[in-house]
């Protein structure tokens, strides 16, 4: 009985290792994302640390700020990895004004190592566009 369980365990571990390595192991960066946002109609796209805020300015893989065509501003902080993104979400929440703290679930979104914070809740089209522009 132990012999039958061993091959299944080996196969399960191999599949898990393959899945972990596919589609999602590398980190998004500000540098890789800037051109796409600008090309999709976002204005004032910048990675200048003096313009993007403290949290995004010190993110390990950079940060950026961009204005959607309707004026909604997004700040994106690129953490080292997904675990770092969780800490970045906490930092954004901890340092948000009282007004924004109550709206964080509407204005903050994460994908892998990227944390996006909007001025107002983004439309589905804005969110899809921004998430689609995340790149390495």
Distance, CA of 30 to CA of 101 (rounded, Å): 25
- pLDDT, position 10: 35
C-alpha of 5 from chain center: 39
Q: Is residue 77 part of a domain?
A: yes
Other beta carbons within 10 angstroms of residue 26's beta carbon come to: 12
Domain membership of residue 31 as a residue range? 26-133
Q: Is residue 90 part of a domain?
A: yes
- pLDDT, position 5: 41
Q: Is residue 54 part of a domain?
A: yes
Q: Is residue 16 part of a domain?
A: no
What predicted TM-score, i.e. pTM, was given to this entire model?
A: 0.81
- pLDDT, position 86: 96
Domain count, the chain: 1
- pLDDT, position 136: 79
Q: Is residue 92 part of a domain?
A: yes
Q: Is residue 9 part of a domain?
A: no
Residue 11 burial (CB < 10 Å; 0-12/13-18/19+)? exposed
pLDDT by 10s per residue, the chain, length 136: 444 443 443 333 333 333 333 445 689 999 999 999 999 999 999 999 999 999 999 999 999 999 999 999 999 999 999 999 999 999 999 999 999 999 999 999 999 999 999 999 999 999 999 999 999 7
Q: Are 76 and 62 a contacting pair, CB within 8 Å?
A: no
Q: Is residue 4 part of a domain?
A: no
Q: Is residue 87 part of a domain?
A: yes
Sole residue written with tokens 């949290």? 55
- pLDDT, position 25: 60
């Amino acid at each position: 009985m132990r012999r039958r369980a061993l091959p299944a365990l080996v196969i399960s571990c191999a599949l898990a290792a393959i899945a972990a390595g596919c589609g999602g192991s590398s980190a998004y960066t500000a540098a890789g994302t800037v051109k796409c946002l600008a090309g999709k109609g976002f204005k004032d796209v910048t990675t200048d640390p003096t313009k993007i805020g403290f949290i995004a300015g010190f993110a390990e893989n950079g940060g950026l700020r961009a204005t959607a065509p309707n004026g909604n501003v997004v700040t994106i902080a690129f953490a080292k990895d997904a675990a770092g993104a969780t800490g970045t979400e906490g930092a954004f929440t901890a340092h948000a004004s009282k007004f924004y703290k109550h709206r964080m679930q509407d204005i903050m979104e994460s994908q892998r190592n990227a944390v996006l914070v909007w001025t107002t809740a983004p439309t589905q089209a804005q969110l899809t566009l921004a998430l689609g522009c995340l790149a390495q």
